[in-house]
Amino acid sequence: MGGKNHQPCRIYLVESTKLSRFLSLAYAELELGNVALEDLILAELDGQFGSIVPMYEHLNSSAQALRKAHEMVAILREKMFDNEFADLPSLRKLNLWQVGAALMDKSMVEYDSWKTVTRVMKKGGFYEVLLHLERSIETLSEKTSSLITSVRGLQEVTEKGEANLVLEENRPGNIKEAFAALYTAWTKFNQDFLASSLLSTELWYAFNGYGSLAGRSAQLMAV
């Protein structure tokens, strides 16, 4: 969504927005996959037979969107390289810790994620942030693939109308572990992605004199 796309500078807004959009689609499809699982369980509890096909299709769509996001990271990096991208001077001027504290006061960002992204940005600028995001997307892709594999194993029990029993009684083939691992990875990633987006936005706003989302721009300059 536009609220969390990155904006290192105006000429990269298309690529950064596409990256954010693919990631939003990937997460939305995961949630729709979970809804499909809930529909399956509700059908069985109502004495009917459900299907794992909708869940499987949504998870595959999530995996596909993650692949597109990974490709967009590469495209964004290549365009930055071709245009000899340099981080904005505001990266050296802003007190990022104070910015983060002000954003946290407004419940806009989570502490650990702001700390992580700030460390990454100070280490290697936006190039390093892209590398951090790329590695995280690869982790999400791996965990999504693991969940898809687990879901395939539910086919036989679903045909018997017993998928709900596998989950409820922790029988062999239970997919809760794979689901939880993926959700946990997404929770961390979404927080990091939001933090990196807000950091990029603050640098852009400061560079152009657009003020600050933190609302205390006069106090946020580095000493």
Query: What angle in degrees, to the nearest 10, is found between the helix axes of 176-208 and 13-45?
Result: 150
Residue 79 has pLDDT above 60, yes or no: yes
> What are the pLDDT digits (tens) for 2-24?
466 655 556 667 888 899 999 99
Judged by phi (left if over 0) then psi (alpha if -120 to 50, else beta), residue 222 lies in beta
Which pLDDT band holds residue 219 (cuts at 50, 70, 90)? Answer: very low
d(CA 156, CA 176): 17
The pLDDT score that the predictor gives to residue 46 is: 96
Average pLDDT of every residue of the chain = 91
**Could you count the other beta carbons within 10 Å of the beta carbon of residue 30?**
24
d(CA 200, CA 87): 10
Contact criterion met (CB below 8 Å) for 73 and 218? no
